[in-house]
Structure 1
Amino acid sequence: MSTPVLLWLRQDLRLADQAALAAAVREGPVIPVYVLDDQAPRQWKMGGASRWWLHHSLANLDASLREKGSRLILRQGDSVEQLVAIAEEVGAGRVHALHHYEPWWRNAEKAVAKRLDLCLHDGGLLLPPGVVRTGGGSSYRIYTPFARAVMEQMPPATPVRAPSRIDAPSDWPKSDSLADWGLLPVKPDWAVAFSSDWTPGEAGARTNVAAFLDEAADYDVARNLPSQEGTSRLSPHLHFGEVSPAYVWHRIVGTGDDATTFLKELIWRDYAHTQIWAMPTYGSENARPAFDAMPWRDLREAGEDFKAWQSGRTGYPIVDAGMRQLWATGWMHNRVRMIAASFLIKHLLIDWRHGARWFWDTLVDASYANNSVNWQWVAGSGVDANIFSRIMAPLTQSEKFDAAGYIRTWVPELAHLDDEHIHDPDAHGIRPPDYPAKRIGHREGRERALAAWGHGKP
């Protein structure tokens, strides 16, 4: 039997349209490996919600591999050392993997390449960072021209089917037990409701894509209506690589409907990864240095406000509904994410990085690229961002986007209120005693934010 090759899996947990797997299968026996590496990302190791998802995704991937005559090898520790150790154990010299663009994975790829024959393949994005460039040869910093340039190169390559069989080595290396990794919460099991909302894994991803096909044409309007849930809910599947963006693109376009707005969301994902590729510290540093002078409130002063935001007790029903949905399901409606983030940054005047870290720990789709770029977009500190002085009015947004039903679902204290009063019970003098008063008035919060913005001169 020929020498086995390693397949290094990370956020690419699928068999179909997986270029690294396809290349490895062509060479001979394949040893698929996933390393739980909390050392490489350091402060960006996966949060609790992502770990819940990872557990179920890995279990499903292993089952799919076994159907093909293979299995998944699990190791914990430093990715480089674990891959080298496995290679020495089985006599492998080559590793196939997909490119990843988080700074820690780029560093790990360089380190692996120094010790093993690492073959990297594209497939996590529609187009790799750096492929789309301006007329002057530089990377795009602004999304709109970037999106136009990507569209000119679409559609992506036709997705490749999963291999019918994956040859196994004569001897398997030792593997950890998934259960021993303790990825699932126990005391308390705060993810008890996750399973009713999500089905991690490649099969679950494809089911979600199929379910969204009939809705994609209405996405432009429906995505802004929390009570209708018009979003695709594909973000965690895309983040963990259970489905390729090329597969999603072709399925959506294949409906024949105009789904341009949704396709541009896939391009936004590419844009976000391009930004962290160009600026690896996007998750911890302002992309616009002038924002370093912004006089954010210290959490020693604003700690209670921050806790109220985290727990959905701000007195703003649309914000509270979103934060409670996040805790209960590991996800939040996209429109509400913007409202909740804006409220923290501008009404409460709390540094965007605190909110981004909370989302990192509580979102099942916690992507370093999307999370960092989206938070900086709201804050105004991003390369391409909303203007800081453009402050969302959460009460107006709630009514405008018909969030009454959404609020009733996640803020049961207000479920008895009618559509006219539920968005702002305080203003109508009918706030229930078990629902908190506003942490700060809208006008007061807005004026404080604008004063801080003027003081910091970002």
Structure 2
Amino acid sequence: MNPRVQLAVFTRDLRVADNPMLAQAATAERVVPLFVQDPAITGGRFSNPSRQHLLNAGLADLDHSLRGIGGALVVRRGDPITEIVRLAERVDAEAVHIAADVSSHAQHREQRLAAALAGHRRGLVVHEAVTTVQPAGSITPSGSDHFAVFTPYLRRWLQQPRRDPLPPPRAIRLPDGLPSGRVPSGQQARGWTGGETAARQRVEDWFTDGLDDYHDRHDDLAGDATSKLSPSLHFGFVSPLELVTRAQRHAGPGPEAFVRQLAWRDFHHQVLAARPQAAWQDYRPRGDHWIDDDAAFRAWQAGLTGYPLVDAGMRQLTKSGWMHNRARMIVASFLTKTLYLDWRLGAQHFLDQLVDGDLANNNLNWQWVAGTGNDTRPNRVLNPLRQAKRFDADADYVRRWLPELAAIDDPTMAHQPWLLPAADRRTLRYPEPIIDLTVGRDRFAHGRG
């Protein structure tokens, strides 16, 4: 084994800035920056075309950045364990560096890799790069392996010491004669651009124009004033620790609210790290007897429920691959507590559509809304009419995503088109509500009862 050669395996940390895995591997005389295209992910339930486009763009950008410091991205396709061990053998690397992750797939991959490398007398060094607090499950309450409630977790999270963000390596050198393989070409996905370069520009724009007002505007559906950094965080184009560090240099409710959202992200990751089965199993079973109603589910997917705020959120998802967080909660509540359909249906549909589809954040947020997760108020129901009055008072969000309602000037009528005269309703080409809200609430209460 050659101690002068190390492998740096990228997973969900596709950046050169503040990347502990790359920084440590780059201290070796020669380093192989490696990404393995895993068919189990790119062709499975965890991928969709939009996220694949962003991933490809991120890999192309990463390759460009690595070439700027003397290296290149080496790409292989196949089983990650097989490809990593094969390459480590070829270059006689002493150790392999990789970032930890929290899903059952990632944990199993790490365990398999450690065993395979040990069989070849090579080391595996695991780093933390996906969450702010490192490792994700390092904050634990007395008598448990994770926090089940957010508020006490947040108090501990805010008190944790943090390292300083790391600069990119100054230079790296590949082993001689190593073919890099084909790096995917970068593409846009529904208007989103992947890669560290674009992500860092989005960060700069956000800290300049959005951060200070975030507390006041983050629930404004029409204003759409969130950071939109979630896709970049999912792929690791930006470092969550760097975002927290920068935000905490600013005073005021805006930065505090933004940091709180990053703490929620860590919270969900530490839950999944400790309970990987919670990705698809009820974290706290409530005895739900979910209804089987395929027609209602299809109407929800298509944005044809007859409730404009719900339908606007679902149309935004279909057209842009993204949805405002407030809208995500509203449509999730409607599916699980008004239609009383299984949260897993919605979680999978979101993963099929979202450019930022992240297993920990997506599925555990779905459980939070469905009342099977970490919510301390599991019977909460978000009434879409009340939510519309609070967060889309002028109906601008609804009219933006539902062109059939764009000509309705009265916000109340835009949110409740069934109040219009029958003749006017017929010209709208918009469906009647598929369920009465009171009926849905009673059905949820009875089913959970």
Q: Tell me if TM exceeds 0.5.
A: yes
In the TM superposition, 1:36-47 aligns within 5 A as 36-39=37-40, 44-47=45-48
* Inter-partner Cα distance in structure 2 for 1:46 and 1:398: 32
What is the letter of the counterpart of residue 243 of structure 1?
V
Quote the residue 2:389 is aligned against.
Answer: 399
Quote the residue 1:354 is aligned against.
Answer: 345
The verdict on how the C-alpha distance between 1:212 and 1:221 changes in structure 2, with shifts beyond 3 A counting, is same
Stretch moving more, 421-430 or 350-359: 421-430
Match of 2:420 among 418, 428, 447: 428
* Contact 2:101–2:130 (CA under 8 A) maintained in structure 1: yes
Does structure 1 residue 328 correspond to structure 2 residue 319?
Answer: yes
Q: Residue 54 of structure 1: CA displacement? A: 0.9
C-alpha deviations, 1:341-365, integer Å up to 9, x for none?
Answer: 0111111111000000001111111
* Contact 1:308–1:314 (CA under 8 A) maintained in structure 2: yes
Match of 1:241 among 206, 224, 236: 236
Name the SS of the counterpart of 2:433 in structure 1: coil
Quote the residue 1:307 is aligned against.
Answer: 298
Name the SS of the counterpart of 1:27 in structure 2: coil
C-alpha deviations, 1:4-58, integer Å up to 9, x for none?
Answer: 3211111000000001111111012111111121337996432333212111111
Does structure 1 residue 345 correspond to structure 2 residue 345?
Answer: no
Name the SS of the counterpart of 2:137 in structure 1: coil
* Inter-partner Cα distance in structure 2 for 1:81 and 1:339: 44
Name the SS of the counterpart of 2:418 in structure 1: coil
* Inter-partner Cα distance in structure 2 for 1:353 and 1:137: 26
Quote the residue 1:411 is aligned against.
Answer: 402
* Contact 1:11–1:241 (CA under 8 A) maintained in structure 2: yes
Quote the residue 2:120 is aligned against.
Answer: none
Does structure 1 residue 211 correspond to structure 2 residue 217?
Answer: no
Does structure 1 residue 202 correspond to structure 2 residue 196?
Answer: yes
* Inter-partner Cα distance in structure 1 for 2:141 and 2:3: 46
* Inter-partner Cα distance in structure 1 for 2:375 and 2:47: 26
Q: Residue 177 of structure 1: CA displacement? A: 4.8
Name the SS of the counterpart of 1:281 in structure 2: helix
* Contact 2:36–2:83 (CA under 8 A) maintained in structure 1: yes
Q: CA RMSD in A?
A: 2.1
Q: Residue 174 of structure 1: CA displacement? A: 5.0
Quote the residue 1:142 is aligned against.
Answer: 149
Quote the residue 2:368 is aligned against.
Answer: 377
* Inter-partner Cα distance in structure 2 for 1:234 and 1:447: 38
* Inter-partner Cα distance in structure 2 for 1:41 and 1:136: 38
In the TM superposition, 1:34-433 aligns within 5 A as 34-39=35-40, 44-116=45-117, 117-127=123-133, 128-136=135-143, 138-153=145-160, 156-173=162-179, 175-178=181-184, 194-195=190-191, 198-213=192-207, 214-258=209-253, 259-289=255-285, 291=286, 293-298=287-292, 302-382=293-373, 384-385=374-375, 387-402=377-392, 404-418=395-409, 419-429=411-421, 430-431=424-425, 432-433=427-428
Percent identity between the two aligned chains: 38
* Inter-partner Cα distance in structure 1 for 2:104 and 2:233: 19
Quote the residue 2:27 is aligned against.
Answer: 26
* Contact 1:50–1:361 (CA under 8 A) maintained in structure 2: no
What is the letter of the counterpart of residue 382 of structure 2?
M
* Contact 1:283–1:353 (CA under 8 A) maintained in structure 2: no
What is the letter of the counterpart of residue 82 of structure 2?
E
The verdict on how the C-alpha distance between 1:362 and 1:102 changes in structure 2, with shifts beyond 3 A counting, is same
* Inter-partner Cα distance in structure 1 for 2:42 and 2:14: 19
Q: Residue 236 of structure 1: CA displacement? A: 0.8
* Inter-partner Cα distance in structure 1 for 2:130 and 2:318: 28
* Inter-partner Cα distance in structure 1 for 2:215 and 2:443: 34
* Contact 2:3–2:93 (CA under 8 A) maintained in structure 1: no
What is the letter of the counterpart of residue 260 of structure 2?
K
Quote the residue 1:188 is aligned against.
Answer: none
What is the letter of the counterpart of residue 420 of structure 1?
T
Match of 2:442 among 439, 447, 456: 447
* Inter-partner Cα distance in structure 1 for 2:64 and 2:136: 33
What is the letter of the counterpart of residue 349 of structure 1?
Y
TM-score (normalised: structure 1): 0.90
Q: Residue 386 of structure 1: CA displacement? A: 5.2
C-alpha deviations, 1:369-421, integer Å up to 9, x for none?
Answer: 10111000001001x21534321110220121126111121111111112232
* Contact 1:236–1:364 (CA under 8 A) maintained in structure 2: yes
* Inter-partner Cα distance in structure 1 for 2:42 and 2:279: 12
* Inter-partner Cα distance in structure 1 for 2:361 and 2:240: 15
* Contact 1:312–1:321 (CA under 8 A) maintained in structure 2: yes
Q: Residue 136 of structure 1: CA displacement? A: 4.5
- Consecutive unaligned residues of structure 2, counting only runs of 5 or more, are 118-122
